[in-house]
Structure 1
Amino acid sequence: MKTITLVQKIKLNGELCAKSAKVIADLTARGLRNNIDLFVTADERDPASEGYTLAVKYQINAAPFFIVTTDDHQAHAYPVYSQFLRSVFNIEPAESDEIAEIMAQNSDMYFI
């Protein structure tokens, strides 16, 4: 059995970041939210929060992200939501959603 952790980001104003809210809404719409075992917060008001600690540990610089831990304590981090859906739930996300997510995480990329 695997454990799924979602690291979500809380902004300086105390609200959930838009991307985290969108991912949680999508998980809910797909009926997958109950499969998330642990919700952890990367709180911009607290650089020592558990979410930031996990981001450093897994070398991830954007939230939300997922960590899937297996029974043998092997952990795999998924910084891209579409990759998480594909690998963990065998769900193929819409190509447009996947491209938008990649572009959001890599604002210096340009498509011709």
Structure 2
Amino acid sequence: MQAEFPNSNLLDDALAEQLYAEGLGKKDLAAAQATFKRLLEVSPNGNAVDNAYSIMAQTLACAGKGEEAKKMDQEIVRRFTFTRHADDARGRLAGDYSVRTCDDDE
């Protein structure tokens, strides 16, 4: 999609879907991080940014990166205070990241 429609106003949505597939589907942390970075570069204020942050926080937690996931969730609460993403992040922050694995989502 990026190559075919580089100026699409749906690019951030497509990248968020790609992020989900890479991070929570294929469990490929490096690919997910690259897609997250790309999404923020091409559409820092896009409507899918809050979703991308949530997906990335979950991906980090699933990869055993609890401290990074916690920082991401704190950023979600700060940036997207009154959204469902912030509510979900608060819930994750109340939990124990150290025992979370990707298998918990299956």
TM-score (norm 1): 0.26
Q: Which has the larger radius of gyration?
A: 1
Which structure carries more helix by proportion? 2
Question: Which gives a bigger RCO, structure 1 or 2 (Cα 8 Å, sep 6+)?
Answer: 1
Which structure carries more strand by proportion? 1
TM-score (norm 2): 0.27
